[in-house]
Amino acid sequence: MSSQLSKDSCEACRLDAPVLSDKEISDLSTQIPSWIVYEEEGVKRLVCSFAFSSYKDSVNFTNKVAELAETEDHHPEIVLEWGNVTVSWWSHKIKGLHKNDFICASKTDDLFQESN
């Protein structure tokens, strides 16, 4: 099921763009319930793992996420394994979470739904 976030597009992220507050993160997280907020080296990221029945399906999904990243000009970390793809979204320029990350996470969920 697509969330409202999926209908939005990423905006260009500036170095001075504000990092989302904990309240904003909490509010937006309700639209992407399968994602967790994970903090690494002081930087919050959205992380979700997606399960597949084959390596080929994992690769195909990875390629779709890569196409999404190019379209949105916002690029995640993607870990590809047999039967599993883990995607992490965060805004590198501001070293934290921006609404763009939630938009892309929601669109990633849509890609997963389409692939099943």
Please list the pLDDT of the chain residue by residue as tens digits (116 residues). Answer: 446 777 766 665 666 778 899 999 999 999 999 999 999 999 999 999 999 999 999 999 999 999 999 999 999 999 999 999 999 999 988 999 999 999 999 999 999 999 87
In a domain, 67, yes or no: yes
First to last CA, the chain: 12
In a domain, 7, yes or no: no
In a domain, 88, yes or no: yes
CA distance 101 to 77: 12
In a domain, 2, yes or no: no
In a domain, 81, yes or no: yes
Q: Structure pTM? A: 0.90
In a domain, 62, yes or no: yes
Q: Total domain count for the chain?
A: 1
CA distance 43 to 58: 27
Query: Which domain covers residue 88, as residue numbers?
Result: 20-111
CATH number of the domain within which 103 lies: 3.30.1360.20
In a domain, 1, yes or no: no
